[in-house]
């Protein structure tokens, strides 16, 4: 969420200023099914007009001339065409082998093929260049990529004692009853990806849960200097019965991807897109406790992620009292959009509402892990935070539990099970714009 200063301040619940003016344009080249893949076209454009002409691509050639004429300082494909996606469980499972050869198998292509990042040259207005590119018949879309903001806020009154008995949310979502049921599977064989501000790999309550940590941000260290990603990861999978502070909702392994910079002047849409697509073939669930304006490239990439069999869970946003904007990616129809509730099952005052909301989960005074090293806030090891950022990982972890019990379920089937089993909040009908299907109930979802 943008705030009066350009840095990320997670403790603000609204974007009170406009996002900074970006000097980057994202464009997607259209692809002839009989020709090279979109990734190959993007690579040709990046090599200049001659490279595009060799591929027989008029759009790439015109794009390259923008570079040669000084309107852009660089044009690069968002995804490396020589590095195909890993095998996936869904409709994209056959793509990896064909992508390596520059052509998609059986004429099929991913939606995120053909994306290029254009760094705008001095003296060129980015919006004007984006409009010019969008008007080219061989360009599907061109736009200025919006920054993604995190939806977590430190609870103003915190109690630093790291006791699992303070995790009121577990009772609200009937987690104890779910664990006590015969045949309960803690999801230790499931991987949940967290694209966020990073993770404290040295936190004693998280060490055993981390499967892989990847920093996709060039020029920024691996540490989680914001703390948001560490807090989200703890809600999902902090150690259970390990004699330490808290426990996560499940025992899934965490694929942590650092894609949100400490300073939003260093925001990189390309790095964020790469983090999203890296999830394909590596995780079963993706948690996105972030959001912002509509981003066509993000939508294309997340459709690929979902087609690969990954359940995508996203936070609704914390800006109800500041205009209640529609936040993406939560507003995507195939994404599970999560709002926040308090200890009385009331919608949190900050939690955005809308027709696209699927379910709500606890998001007020949520105790979880925070970095053990110095970071933006004083509370180390554990702290209670507020936000739809805290609600979403409860649902992501519940999705992991559903997949553990019902392997082979599609993302749509998992979301349907979570919503159909949710508890209707008193006085609210299912489908309410503030509560969706109701509050998450793990016991019912696993019944």
Report, as residue numbers or ranges, the catalytic residues: 196, 228, 389
Burial of residue 166 (number of CB atoms within 10 Å: 0-12, 13-18, 19+): middle
For tokens 């736009």, what's the residue? 143
How far apart, in whole angstroms, are the C-alpha atoms of residue 178 and residue 140?
47
- Return the structure tokens found at 65: 């001339």
Q: How far is CA 57 from CA 40, 48, 66, 89, 249, in A?
A: 10, 11, 15, 33, 50
How far apart, in whole angstroms, are the C-alpha atoms of residue 301 and residue 92?
12
Q: Cα 131–134–140 angle (5° rounding)?
A: 160
Q: For 381, phi and psi rounded to 5 degrees?
A: 80, -60
The answer to whether the peptide bond before residue 21 is cis (omega within 30 degrees of 0) is no
Q: How many CB atoms lie within 10 A of CB 279?
A: 28
Length of the chain, in residues: 447
Pairing relationship of beta strands 72-77 and 115-120 according to DSSP bridges: antiparallel
Q: Classify 441 in phi/psi space as left (phi over 0), alpha (psi -120 to 50) or beta.
A: beta
Q: How many CB atoms lie within 10 A of CB 306?
A: 22
């Amino acid at each position: 969420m943008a705030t009066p200063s350009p840095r990320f301040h997670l403790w603000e619940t609204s974007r009170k200023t406009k996002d900074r003016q970006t000097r980057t344009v994202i464009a997607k080249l259209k692809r002839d099914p009989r020709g090279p893949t979109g990734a190959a076209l993007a690579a040709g454009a990046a090599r200049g007009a001659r490279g595009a002409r060799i591929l027989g691509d008029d759009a790439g050639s015109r794009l390259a001339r923008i570079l040669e004429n000084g309107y852009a300082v660089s044009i690069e494909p968002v995804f490396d065409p020589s590095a195909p996606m890993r095998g996936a469980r869904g409709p994209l499972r056959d793509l990896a082998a064909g992508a390596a050869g520059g052509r998609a198998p059986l004429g099929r292509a991913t939606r995120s093929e053909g994306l290029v990042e254009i760094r705008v040259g001095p003296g060129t207005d980015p919006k004007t260049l984006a409009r010019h590119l969008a008007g080219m018949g061989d360009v599907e879309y061109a736009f200025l990529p919006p920054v993604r903001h995190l939806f977590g806020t430190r609870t103003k009154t915190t109690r630093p004692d790291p006791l699992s008995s303070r995790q009121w949310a577990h009772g609200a979502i009937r987690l104890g009853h779910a664990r006590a049921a015969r045949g309960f599977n803690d999801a230790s064989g499931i991987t949940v990806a967290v694209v966020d501000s990073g993770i404290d790999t040295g936190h004693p309550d998280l060490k055993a849960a981390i499967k892989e940590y990847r920093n996709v941000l060039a020029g920024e260290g691996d540490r989680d200097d914001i703390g948001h990603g560490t807090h989200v990861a703890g809600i999902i999978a902090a150690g259970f019965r390990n004699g330490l502070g808290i426990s996560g909702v499940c025992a899934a392994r965490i694929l942590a991807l650092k894609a949100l910079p400490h300073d939003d002047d260093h925001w990189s849409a390309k790095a964020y897109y790469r983090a999203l697509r890296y999830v394909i073939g590596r995780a079963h669930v993706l948690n996105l406790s972030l959001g912002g304006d509509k981003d066509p490239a993000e939508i294309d990439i997340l459709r690929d992620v979902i087609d690969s069999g990954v359940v995508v869970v996203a936070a609704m946003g914390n800006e109800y009292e500041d205009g209640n904007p529609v936040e993406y990616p939560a507003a995507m129809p195939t994404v599970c959009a999560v709002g926040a509730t308090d200890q009385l099952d009331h919608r949190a005052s900050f939690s955005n509402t809308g027709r696209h909301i699927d379910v709500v989960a606890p998001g007020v005074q949520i105790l979880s892990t925070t970095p053990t090293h110095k970071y933006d806030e004083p509370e180390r090891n554990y702290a209670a935070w507020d936000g739809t950022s805290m609600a979403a990982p409860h649902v992501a972890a519940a999705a992991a539990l559903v997949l553990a019990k019902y392997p082979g379920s599609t993302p749509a089937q998992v979301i349907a099970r979570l919503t159909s089993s949710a508890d209707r909040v008193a006085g609210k009908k299912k489908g309410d714009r503030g509560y969706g299907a109701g509050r998450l109930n793990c016991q019912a979802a696993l019944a």
